[in-house]
């Protein structure tokens, strides 16, 4: 299992200097990054920067609307970047209903074979709201149960799973074989600014990592939605998670 970082963690830096931020991420020790947009740059320049820094851009979060409407362009961008895992990061608030999730499932099922043929693996990243029942069923379970496990992966965000009152270890174990990516995030505490650096808080990290390895997860991805200091968080997360996967 390899430690990586979701660049959303350092979005304040990438917005101003994507290429310089990638250099700094490589200096910290990361060898893999997951994209969340391109900051103030574009795919060709980013590929040159990550190659120079010795970093692989193995995954990317891309909005469902782009998967729907700009799929060929997205595929071209992923090829430039060397991305393997193409992840839908969430549903916007106005789509978090039965019709919205049905459309998500339809799109995942439509695009997953096309992604495979392009050398990509399509997946979905959970938040807490996938564990709020709609018509008596968790949207997460609806997604998992109505997509092909061989073609649609589940990127389990353990912080959001825990925030939703669920057991991240059990969720990982339940979906063994289709969880190549795990987001290492601490649980949000309502009313508290910031989050602890990933791997330093009260989540059962040793059990999460063990379950991930047993489930076939290849990447443990540091993410902090609300870092008080994004680069210090990236540094601390790398140290914490590297110790956990050793």
Q: What is the pLDDT of residues 154-193, one digit of tens each?
A: 999 999 999 999 999 999 999 999 999 999 999 988 877 7
Mean pLDDT over the full length of the chain: 98
pLDDT attached to residue 18: 99
Cβ atoms of 22 and 50 within 8 Å: the answer is yes
Could you report the per-residue pLDDT of 182-234, keeping only the tens digit for each?
999 999 888 777 888 999 999 999 999 999 999 999 999 999 999 999 999 99
pLDDT attached to residue 149: 97
DSSP codes joined into one string, 54-74 = T-EEEEEE--HHHHHH-HHHH
pLDDT attached to residue 194: 81
State the Cα angle at 50 between 221 and 57, rounded to 5°. Answer: 40
Could you report the per-residue pLDDT of 112-149, keeping only the tens digit for each?
999 999 999 999 999 999 999 999 999 999 999 999 99
How many domains does the chain fold into?
1
Count CA atoms closer than 13 A to 15's CA, side-chain side: 6
**Residue 195's beta-bridge partner residues?**
none
Could you report the per-residue pLDDT of 67-100, keeping only the tens digit for each?
999 999 999 999 999 999 999 999 999 999 999 9
Segment 4-30 mean pLDDT:
98
pLDDT band at 5 (very low <50, low <70, confident <90, very high): very high
pLDDT at position 51 over 80:
yes
State the Cα angle at 103 between 99 and 104, rounded to 5°. Answer: 120
Task: Centre a 10 Å sphere on the Cβ of residue 135 and count the other Cβ atoms it contains.
Answer: 9
Angstrom distance (rounded) from CA 192 to CA 222? 20
pLDDT attached to residue 195: 84
Cβ atoms of 42 and 72 within 8 Å: the answer is no
Cβ atoms of 123 and 84 within 8 Å: the answer is no
DSSP secondary structure letter of residue 148: -
pLDDT attached to residue 189: 84
- Print the domain residue range for 150: 2-245
User: Which CATH number characterizes residue 49's domain?
Assistant: 3.20.20.150
What the block records as the tokens of 84 is: 């393997």
């Amino acid at each position: 299992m390899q430690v990586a970082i979701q660049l959303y963690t350092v979005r304040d830096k990438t917005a101003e200097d994507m290429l310089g931020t990638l250099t700094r991420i490589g200096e910290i020790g990361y060898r893999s990054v997951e994209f969340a947009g391109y900051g103030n740059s574009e795919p060709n320049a980013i590929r040159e920067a990550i190659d120079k820094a010795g970093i692989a851009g193995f995954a990317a979060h891309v909005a469902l609307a782009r998967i729907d409407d700009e799929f060929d362009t997205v595929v071209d961008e992923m090829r430039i970047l060397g991305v393997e895992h193409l992840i839908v990061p969430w549903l916007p608030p106005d789509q978090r209903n039965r019709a919205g999730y049905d459309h998500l499932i339809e799109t995942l099922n439509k695009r997953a074979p096309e992604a495979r043929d392009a050398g990509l693996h399509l997946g979905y990243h959970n938040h807490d709201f996938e564990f709020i029942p709609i018509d008596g069923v968790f949207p997460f379970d609806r997604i998992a149960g109505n997509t092909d496990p061989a073609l649609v992966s589940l990127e389990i965000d353990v912080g959001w799973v825990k925030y939703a009152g669920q057991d991240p270890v059990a969720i990982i174990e339940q979906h063994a074989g289709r969880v190549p990516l795990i987001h290492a995030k601490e649980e949000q505490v309502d009313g508290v600014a910031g989050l602890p650096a990933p791997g330093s808080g009260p989540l059962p990290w040793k059990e999460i990592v063990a379950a991930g390895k047993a489930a076939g997860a290849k990447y443990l991805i540091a993410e902090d939605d609300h870092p008080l200091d994004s680069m210090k968080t990236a540094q601390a997360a790398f140290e914490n998670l590297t110790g956990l996967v050793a």
